[in-house]
Amino acid sequence: MIGMAFINFYKNKLVIRYFMFLKKRFALVLLIPFLLLAGDTKFTKREINYVREGPASYYELVEIIPKGTKLVILNQVDQWLKVKLENNKTGWISSNSLSDKNVKIDYSKKLSNPSPDGNSSMRGIAAAIKGLRQEVRIATPGSIDALLVIQPPAIDRIEREKFRSDIQREHSSNASPLNIEKFGLEIPEYDPSMRELQIGISVGSRLLSRGTVENKELSKYFYQIVRELLANSNYYDLNFLVFLLDDEKIDGFACPGGYTFLTKGAFELCADESELAFVLGHEIAHILLKHGLKELSQQKVQIKAEDAFLELEKDLDEEKDSVEMELEELILNSYEKIVHERLLKYEVEADKVSTLLLASAGYDPFAGVRIDEKLARLYTEERDIFAYKYAAPNDAELRYTTLRAFVQNKFDNKNSNAKLQGRFGKFKELVK
């Protein structure tokens, strides 16, 4: 009996040692990816790259760095990497911004040197956007600075999870990670150049000077909706600020660089949160698809702009002043004209992309159909309440019927996702 007990004890000991060995091996396997990651170097690949205090786009900026900046990888959380900069600062940057190879460009020289904080870096971008000048010739003096100092609302993880859980509570049959290609659509990687930002901020500063509805809770509400729309897409790391213009006419604007403007008239047209999300997603889609910039190019404005930019490279101050003013007026007037003449092709594309963003976030993808139906009816009955016009009289109706066919073909209407009419109603009261 003693002998058998000893043998059993010895066997059990061997088994325990074997499992301890496996545990160590398993721990080592788990550790290897981190060892391979920590200490690796990567390079920024976008024209402008944002380093933040935490692993999400709503964290405060640490620094803004140009393309080709070398970074040391310290850690990873989901799609965000903790990095050490060349000046030994640390922060978080999205994996979308990084590449294994370094390809430098001349634009990197136009950004200011690394600054002590995000706001200083924003001033560096402001200087580049203004053509490294101190004077502001566009819109109200100082309006560009007024736009650039506006930061995304502060949102902590608990607030975000609460906001998201209210959407996900519907258990939608349509919600899934966004796959644009699956639906026959294509969006290029969004990497705005300095010239795009110049156009976007110039137009945005003009719109901002028209007057906005100032309400911090409402701004946070808009921002949280946008964050959910982008969370399951390749654009999770982008920031889009939303401004509510104090204008009763129905309108919306999308400016390169992530500035979205919505009028009170457009906001009041919405009956629930999913419809508001569709309207915001529609404007964001215009930015991602670069519709305004494409039309600028097709109208040959870009050719004139290129010539003007070449003139700006010269050191002749008198000519530079004149050319710069002409360039500003050319770009801004042309861009504003384009966004007010809605081209059906672009509207349909933006509607479809917005619908996919809705579904990926858990919102009702049929919200866009309801919005477009209202727009088509009102455009026929009360055209004077619109601040824009379509290229052809029946385009509003065609837009509605095209989106309706797309949504009915792609999505399930039986359990069509969250509308969140109750939550929306509380914020709508803030505007009245």
Q: Determine which of 137-151, 383-397, 410-424 has the lowest per-residue pLDDT on average.
A: 137-151
Strands 241-245 and 98-99: unpaired
For 36, other C-beta atoms within 10 Å of its C-beta total 10
User: Distance (Å, rounded) from C-alpha 132 to C-alpha 263?
Assistant: 32
Sign (positive/negative) of CA torsion 105, 106, 107, 109?
positive
- Spatial separation of the C-alpha atoms in residues 229 and 121, rounded to whole Å: 27
Instruction: Please count the residues of the chain.
Output: 432
Torsions phi, psi for 84 (to 5 deg): -110, 130
pLDDT category of residue 282 using cuts at 50, 70 and 90 = very high
Nearest to 394 by CA among 349, 347, 351, 353: 347
Tell me how far apart the alpha carbons of residues 158 and 218 are, in angstroms, rounded to a whole number.
Answer: 18
Give the pLDDT confidence score for residue 276 in this predicted structure: 98
The pTM (predicted TM-score) of the whole model is: 0.75
Tokens of 1: 């009996």
164-181 pLDDT, tens digit per residue, is 988 888 766 555 555 666
**Facing residues of 390 across strands?**
342
pLDDT digits (tens, 9 = 90+) for 381-416: 776 666 556 656 788 899 999 999 999 988 877 666
Encode pLDDT of 18-63 as tens digits.
Answer: 445 444 444 444 444 444 455 688 999 888 888 999 998 888 888 8
How far apart are alpha carbons 226 and 358 in whole angstroms?
10
41-129 CATH pick, 3.40.50.300, 3.40.50.1820, 2.30.30.40, 2.60.120.260: 2.30.30.40
What residue ranges do the domains of the chain occupy? 1-35, 41-129, 158-428
